Amino acid sequence: MPVHNPSTTDLINSLPKAELHLHIEGTLEPELMMALAAKHQVNLPYATIDDVRVAYNFDNLQSFLDLYYLGASVLRDEDDFYHLMWNYLCKCREDNVVHVEMMFDPQTHTERGIDFAVFMSGFSRAMTQAEKEWGQSSLLIMSFLRHLSEDSAFETLAAAAPYLSVITAVGLDSSELGNPPEKFARVFAKAKELGLMRVAHAGEEGPPEYIWSALHDLDVHRIDHGVRSVEDPTLMQELVSRQMPLTVCPLSNIKLCVFDHMSEHNLLTLLDHGVMVTVNADDPSYFGGYLNDNYHALAAHLSINEQQVKILASNSFKASFLSDEQKNYWLQQILAY
Ligand code: ADE
Ligand code: ZN
């Protein structure tokens, strides 16, 4: 692996950063998965923790999602969701991720008979504790599974009604191909009416048309992934003129074979064209690294320099749902480096 400048390493580790594309269910480490499987007597097709890691070899998004939903099946009670969230927030503290906007997938749990009250209580307990203990800032994005129906998404939005004060935005994830954003136009319109912000996965495996659809049909504030936008110059211009953030996930893109190798990733092309790019971990337990690991991989294989690291960290705050005052505070902190 190419070696990068040690001062870039230090800068990546010590800069304050925000993370905007993170699936909390994707932070389930094999150790916790196996412990919870034993606790609840769930039969997984793995005998050891090493077997779990060996299974993490994916050909595409769907091959990952199959294991991701299987893994999530061990999450059963309030304490499980608390530990999942707590472990991730501790990792944020270690990586100087001072603010995080996390997706959770209610349907992954409600479809198994687990009620909103169970996971919302576990998540909130950990988030409140981290806020109290070290000032961790965090908020929640409720994501709809796009392989399920519009009706199911509407039911999920209705079930979330008692929790809307702790949900900032809605998102759209799961199997992209064959499930274009317009399928959820009416659900997102309702979410907007309810005062929720909006993000959607688009252009991870899907074509640029899906990104156009997320902009026009879902009225999103950010595009999750969006790396296939480079195939459409008009779309690129649109993203630049709107300063529409893309939440790019480098290690995820390699693990899911969106690019063959990190040295072929198009993050710098996007950045050089003036797109508002951010760096994120997506599902760190499954893709081999948390937020700082993603920055380090870019430094090692794309030779991003210190200036580019600072731009990416600044973008992470600019593209967040923080107030202007909070954004300015963190942007000033980065300027001091
Ligand atoms: N759910 C969890 N991670 C995802 C990803 N990278 N794309 C789509 N759905 C997801
Ligand atoms: Zn994602």
Fold of 6-335: TIM Barrel (3.20.20)
Q: How far is the CA of 173 from the centre of ligand 2 (A)?
A: 6
Give the span between the Cα atoms of 178 and 79, in whole angstroms: 36
What's residue 5's pLDDT? 73
Residue with tokens 């529409």: 244
pLDDT in tens, 271-309: 999 999 999 999 999 999 999 999 999 999 999 999 999
CB 103 within 8 A of CB 141: yes
What's residue 3's pLDDT? 57
**Ligand 1 pocket at CB < 6 A:** 23, 26, 61, 68, 173-174, 201, 204, 252, 282-283
Looking at the CA of residue 283, tell me the nearest atom of ligand 1: 3
pLDDT in tens, 184-195: 999 999 999 999
Longest dimension (CA), the chain: 53
Domain spans in the chain, listed from the N-terminal domain onward: 6-335
CB 86 within 8 A of CB 131: no
DSSP 282: B
Give the span between the Cα atoms of 267 and 263, in whole angstroms: 10
Catalytic residues: 204
Residue-by-residue pLDDT tens, the chain, 337 positions: 555 677 999 999 999 999 999 999 999 999 999 999 999 999 999 999 999 999 999 999 999 999 999 999 999 999 999 999 999 999 999 999 999 999 999 999 999 999 999 999 999 999 999 999 999 999 999 999 999 999 999 999 999 999 999 999 999 999 999 999 999 999 999 999 999 999 999 999 999 999 999 999 999 999 999 999 999 999 999 999 999 999 999 999 999 999 999 999 999 999 999 999 999 999 999 999 999 999 999 999 999 999 999 999 999 999 999 999 999 999 999 999 9
Provide the whole-model pTM: 0.98
Best residue among 174, 177, 255, 286 to mutate for probing ligand 1's pocket (most ligand atoms within 8 Å of CB) is 174
Give the span between the Cα atoms of 34 and 164, in whole angstroms: 32
Question: How many residues make up the chain in this entry?
Answer: 337
